[in-house]
Amino acid sequence: MIATIAARPAVTLRLRFWSHPAAAPATAALATVAAGLPGLGRQLDQDEVVTWYAATLPVRDLLPVLRDVDAVFAPYYFLMHAWTRLAGASPLALRVPTLVATVLTAALIVVLGRRLVDTRTGLIAGLLFAVLPAVSRYAQDARPYGLAVLAAVVSTLALLWAADGIRQRWLVYACTIPLLIGAHLMAIMLLAGHFAYMVGHRRRWWWGGAVLVGLLPLAPLVLVASGQTGQVAWLGTPTWTRLPLLPGEILGAAALGGLLAGVAVIRRPALDRVTALLAAWALVPPAVLFAVSYASPMLHPRYLLFTAPAWCLLAARACGGRWSGAALVAGALVLGLSAHAAFRVDTLAGNPDLRRAFAAISAGQAPGDGILHRGPQQNVSRLATGLYLPQRRPVDVLMRQSARQHGSYYALDYDDATAAAALRNVTRLWVVSGIEAPAKQWHTMLGGGQLAEQLRNHYTLERQEHFQGVTVLLLRRT
C-alpha cells in the first residue's frame, strides 16, 4: 500500500507532462540537440570555408560574386552576413543558425504529424528525424540545407492551416514560398507534394493563386541562378543503378533508406490525401532531379535533404503503434551509428586538414616568407588563408588579383615566367599542396611548368609535414 501511494505522484507527473501539447515537440527537439552537438566544433569543410568567406565580405564585394557565380545562395549569404556582425565568424558561430533551424524542424515535424495523423505519429517522426545521420551532419554545417528543411515543414504547416481556414490565410502560405526558395532553390519541388494534397480540394484555385503570388518576389533570383549551373557541373551524370540508392543517400545511410521505405511499403498506409502529400514530397524531388541531371548534372543528396521529414512521417504513419514505433526509432539509431561516427571527427572525409596545416605555417613563418598553393583544393586553401592566418601571413607569390578583387571565389594568377621572376626575392617559401607524393619526391607536389622547374633547381626542402589531404613544405633558396 505504501509503495502504491508513493508511486502515484510520479505517475501523475508523467501523465501531466505527456498531456501537455509542447511535450512531444520538446522531446524531439532535445533529441536533435543531443544528436547534433557532438562534432559541432570540428573544422570547417571546404564548402563552409566558402560560407565564411562570403559572410565576411563587405556587401559591395559580395554582390559581384552572387551576380556571376552563386546567386542561388544569395539569401543565405546575406543572412549569414548579418548574423556574423552580431555573433562573429567563428566555426561555432557560423553553424548556430543551422543547428537552431534543425532543432526547430524536429519540433515542427511533431506538430505536422499531429496535424496529419496524431501526436504519437508526430513524435515517432520527430525522433526518427533526430537520429538520421544526414540530419546530424547538416545540423553542424554552415550551409543552407538545414534551413531549407525548416522552410519545407513551415510551408507545409501553412498549407494545412490555410486549406481548412479563411481565405486570408493563403497570404501567409504565399509568404512561405519565398522563404522556401530563398533557403535553397531545389526546395521549390516541395510544391509537388502540396499540389498532390490539393488535387480535388475545394480551395485548389486559392492554392494556385497563392503559389503564383509567392513565386513572383524571387523570380529574378530563379532566372539568374538557372544560368549558373556550371557551379554543379562537377557532379556528373548519374547512372540508373544510383536511383534506388537515393533514399539512403538522402537519409545518411543506405540501411536507413531501406528501413524507412520498406516499413512504408510493407505496412501500406491508407491511400488518402495525407499519403499523397507525403509520397509526392518524398519521391517526386529525387525523381525530378535525377531526370534533370541527364541534361544538366545537379544531383546531390544534400540538395534533397528537405524531403527527409516526409520519409520520417511516412514510416511513422505506417508504424504508429507504441512498441513498433519505438522499435523503428531504435532500429534507425542502430543502423545509423556507423554513419554518425564518421561525422564525429575534426576533419571530414574528403576534406583537407587546413586548420593544422596553417597552424604549422603560423608557428614557423618569418617576415618575408612567401606561400604557394598547389593541387585540386588550392582555391579553398587560398580562401582559408584569411581564416587561419588573419593577422600575419606569407605573401602569395603567384597571385595577381585576389578573389575579392576578382569578384569570385578564385584568384587570378601571374603566368609562370612572371611568378618565377618574383621568386628571386623570396628566401623561404611555404607550399600548401593537395598533391600526394612520396617524401623523397617532394618536387612532384609542385605541379609542372616553368615555376616548378625553378623551384626544383633553386630551392631545397627544409621541412615537410603531412596532414589529412594536404602537405606543407618549407623550401629555402640555395
For the chain, give the secondary structure using H, E and C: CHHHHHHHHHHHHHHHHHHCCCHHHHHHHHHHHHHHCCCCCCCCCHHHHHHHHHHHCCHHHHHHHHHHCCHHHHHHHHHHHHHHHHHCCCHHHHHHHHHHHHHHHHHHHHHHHHHHCCHHHHHHHHHHHHHCHHHHHHHCCCCCHHHHHHHHHHHHHHHHHHHCCCCCHHHHHHHHHHHHHHHCHHHHHHHHHHHHHHCCCCCHHHHHHHHHHHHHHHHHHHHHHHCCHHHHHHHCCCCHHHHHHHHHHHHCCHHHHHHHHHHHHHHCCCCCHHHHHHHHHHHHHHHHHHHHCCCCCCCCHHHHHHHHHHHHHHHHHHCCCHHHHHHHHHHHHHHCHHHHHHHCCCCCCCCCCHHHHHHHHHHHCCCCCEEEEECCCHHHHHHHHHHHCCCCCCEECCEEECHHHHCCCCCEECCHHHHHHHHHHCCEEEEEECCCCCHHHHHHHHCCHHHHHHHHHHEEEEEEEEECCEEEEEEEEC
pLDDT grade, residue 226 (50/70/90)?
Answer: low
The whole-number pLDDT of residue 321 equals 65
The whole-number pLDDT of residue 478 equals 85
The whole-number pLDDT of residue 421 equals 79
The whole-number pLDDT of residue 177 equals 96
Q: Read off the pLDDT of each residue in 67-76 and give the average, rounded to a whole number.
A: 87
Whether the per-residue pLDDT at 123 is higher than 60: the answer is yes
Contact indicator for 402, 375 with CB cutoff of 8 Å: no
User: Whole-angstrom Cα distance, residue 42 to residue 345?
Assistant: 7
β-pairing, 428-433 with 470-477? antiparallel
Q: Which is more confidently placed, 443 or 124?
A: 124
Per-residue pLDDT tens digits for 398-415: 898 988 888 888 888 888
The whole-number pLDDT of residue 457 equals 86
The whole-number pLDDT of residue 376 equals 85
Per-residue pLDDT tens digits for 434-474: 888 776 778 888 877 778 888 888 899 999 999 999 999 99
Per-residue pLDDT tens digits for 420-435: 777 888 899 999 998 8
Per-residue pLDDT tens digits for 29-42: 999 999 988 888 89
The whole-number pLDDT of residue 22 equals 86
Q: Read off the pLDDT of each residue in 195-217 and give the average, rounded to a whole number.
A: 92
- pTM for this entry: 0.91
pLDDT grade, residue 315 (50/70/90)?
Answer: very high
Whether the per-residue pLDDT at 9 is higher than 70: the answer is no
Q: Measured in whole angstroms, how far is the alpha carbon of residue 371 from the centre of its chain?
A: 31
Quote the cell numbers at residue 463: 621541412
Per-residue pLDDT tens digits for 325-367: 889 999 999 999 888 888 888 989 889 999 999 999 999 999 9
The whole-number pLDDT of residue 472 equals 94
Q: Read off the pLDDT of each residue in 377-391 and give the average, rounded to a whole number.
A: 91
pLDDT grade, residue 311 (50/70/90)?
Answer: very high
Least confident span in 275-279, 285-289, 443-447 = 443-447
Least confident span in 10-14, 18-22, 287-291, 386-390 = 10-14
pLDDT grade, residue 233 (50/70/90)?
Answer: low
Per-residue pLDDT tens digits for 46-61: 999 999 999 999 999 9
pLDDT grade, residue 1 (50/70/90)?
Answer: very low
The whole-number pLDDT of residue 79 equals 96
Across all residues in the chain, what is the average pLDDT? 88
Least confident span in 125-134, 136-145, 266-275, 293-302 = 266-275
The whole-number pLDDT of residue 422 equals 77
Least confident span in 69-78, 187-196, 415-424 = 415-424
Q: Read off the pLDDT of each residue in 85-112 and give the average, rounded to a whole number.
A: 96
Whether the per-residue pLDDT at 93 is higher than 90: the answer is yes
The whole-number pLDDT of residue 197 equals 95
